[in-house]
Amino acid sequence: MRRLFGSVRARAALGATLVVAVALLAAGAAVLLSLRGNLEGRADAEADGVARQVAARIAAGTPYAELDLPDAEDNPVQVVGEDGRVLAVSEGLEAISGTGAPGVTPVPGTGTEPDEDDEASPEPGELGDVVRHVRGTATVEGEHGTYRFASVRATDGRDETVLVHAGASLAAQQDAVRTAAGAMLIGFPLLLAVVGSVTWLVTRRALRPVEDIRREMAEITASADLTRRVPEPGTHDEVARLARTTNETLAALETSVERQRRFVADASHELRSPIASLRTQLEVAAAHPGLLDLDGAVEDTVRLQRLAADLLLLARLDAGERPAGSSRVDLVALAREEAAGRARVTVDARAAGAEVAGSRGQLGRVLANLLDNAERHARSAVTVTVRRDGDRAAVVRVADDGNGIPEADRERIFERFVRLDDARSRDEGGAGLGLAIARDVAVRHGGTLTAGAAPGGGALFELRLPLA
């Protein structure tokens, strides 16, 4: 049971059924109340008419014994005086309730018969208004029924005020309400079953692509094959967007894993060379101390140390590490600091107060890597320009007068372990991590690093960072 209602289909079907059930109950109650009220209104109108007819005859001076009262089964009538005496009742009326006067037998000597000693005809009386409407019961020839009674006040020819209680049967109303309630009791469960079934089927059909996505993702997880993709339905709904987003995530994950594999392979390859060289020199020194190349050993050790530091920094950047020691950094001062001691580098500071927020150490590493790369390819000069781009960004440009970078390779040079000059020695060209580190640091600081062509024909690197 728990597994069943843990399904989205089951919850959707149950929810839709409950909502429709509540709506049907409310609508059914409203219909029954409206039907009952309408039929009661008709009964009140019928009772009003009968009561007024009888009251009009009494007001006209008709003796109570000569009143032509309607059939008690349809419209029981009771005429009561102010003192509670029963003056007239419909023939066959055996019991009555709800009118306030339970009597059904006229009291003798109440004027129900004409007075033989009274030679003059009684004067006409007055017909009053309807006093009230009440629900009551009446028993007619052994049959008990429910009625709506209307009470009308009238004044007879002897100036005596009486109340005429006339009823209208509610049997038709009760039959209609029972019939409607019975139809609802039969129809509502069938309608709820149809709603639940249709919702189940529609939800199942709508969620079938989701189940296909889940099944494919489970198989991808089990096989660890990131080249596979989940099926994308040909619709434009949320499920289709989910499938596309899932495939984009798989593609990004595949790229990331492949990049990590290449990174590990390239790092192993790059580390192998200085380690092998250092080991060879140490073995030679162990066998022949006089042949020890101390400068070469130190150089290989420094190169190995730099490579390890670069790999560690890249690992931290890949892990999403935030810039440590974030503060306000003056790019003009930082550019001059990094250019100090470099004979071919000149700094053109066109901005005052070009301050950014970030790690001074990491931003200094970016400028150092850009200057190292520029010096490696420049013929004679490297120019560093620092300026502000409005009130939003600071821009640092490093340009050289070398051969430049082919347009097709201006993005590839930021990949790790990429060196465009394959003939260049590793000692002169480095490991190919400097530009990759520079771009990653720039991105972590909310900026960008791009490559282009310098006005003099060489390479131009533009570092853009948001102002503090």
Q: Three-state DSSP class for 397?
A: strand
Average pLDDT of the segment spanning 192-221: 85
Last residue of a domain, one of 283, 318, 353: 318
Residues 132 and 264 in one domain: no
- State how far the Cα of 64 lies from the Cα of 69, in Å rounded to an integer: 10
SS in 3 state form for 95-124?
EEECCCCCCCCCCCCCCCCCCCCCCCCCCC
Q: Three-state DSSP class for 222?
A: helix
User: Does residue 427 register a pLDDT over 90?
Assistant: no
Q: Is residue 232 part of a domain?
A: no
CA angle 131, 134, 140 (to 5 degrees): 115
Number of structural domains found in the chain = 3
Report CA torsion sign: 239, 241, 245, 247: positive
Q: Is residue 222 part of a domain?
A: no
Last residue of a domain, one of 302, 318, 334: 318
User: Does residue 297 register a pLDDT over 80?
Assistant: no
Report CA torsion sign: 448, 451, 453, 455: positive
Residues 47 and 13 in one domain: yes
Q: What are phi and psi of 458, to 5 degrees?
A: -85, -155
Average pLDDT of the segment spanning 3-11: 65
Q: What is the pLDDT of residue 462?
A: 93
Q: What is the pLDDT of residue 448?
A: 92
Instruction: Report DSSP letters for 232-297, one per residue.
Output: --SS-SHHHHHHHHHHHHHHHHHHHHHHHHHHHHHHHHHHHHHHHHHHHHHHHHHH-GGG--HHHH
Which tens digits make up the pLDDT trace of 106-142?
876 555 444 444 444 445 667 766 778 888 888 888 8
Residues 389 and 456 in one domain: yes
Residues 96 and 139 in one domain: yes
Residues 188 and 92 in one domain: yes
Domain span at 52: 1-115+122-208
Q: What is the pLDDT of residue 116?
A: 45
Query: Do the strands 459-466 and 393-400 form a parallel or antiparallel pair, or are they unpaired?
Result: antiparallel
Give the pTM.
0.49
User: Does residue 87 register a pLDDT over 60?
Assistant: yes
User: Does residue 32 register a pLDDT over 70?
Assistant: yes
Q: What is the pLDDT of residue 292?
A: 67
Query: Do the strands 126-140 and 143-155 form a parallel or antiparallel pair, or are they unpaired?
Result: antiparallel
Query: How far apart, in Å, are the Cα atoms of 462 and each of 334, 397, 443?
Result: 16, 5, 13
CATH code assigned at 414: 3.30.565.10
pLDDT band at 320 (very low <50, low <70, confident <90, very high): low
Q: Three-state DSSP class for 195?
A: helix
DSSP letter, residue 221: H
Residues 344 and 291 in one domain: no
The closest alpha carbon to 389, from 379, 380, 397, belongs to 397
Residues 73 and 142 in one domain: yes
User: Does residue 34 register a pLDDT over 80?
Assistant: yes
Residues 74 and 37 in one domain: yes
Average pLDDT of the segment spanning 208-228: 85
Q: Is residue 221 part of a domain?
A: no
For residue 221, the Cα-to-chain-centroid distance in whole angstroms is 29
Under a CB-based contact definition with an 8 Å cutoff, are residues 453 and 404 in contact? yes
Which tens digits make up the pLDDT trace of 50-79?
888 888 888 888 888 888 888 888 889 989
Which tens digits make up the pLDDT trace of 367-413?
988 998 899 888 888 999 999 888 888 899 999 998 888 888 888 88
Mean pLDDT of the chain: 81
Last residue of a domain, one of 318, 346, 363: 318
Average pLDDT of the segment spanning 256-263: 77
User: Does residue 357 register a pLDDT over 70?
Assistant: yes
Q: Is residue 111 part of a domain?
A: yes
Q: Is the model more confident about 351 or about 162?
A: 162
User: Does residue 333 register a pLDDT over 60?
Assistant: yes
- State how far the Cα of 182 lies from the Cα of 95, in Å rounded to an integer: 31
H or E segment to which residue 164 belongs: strand 161-169
Residues 203 and 252 in one domain: no
- State how far the Cα of 125 lies from the Cα of 447, in Å rounded to an integer: 104
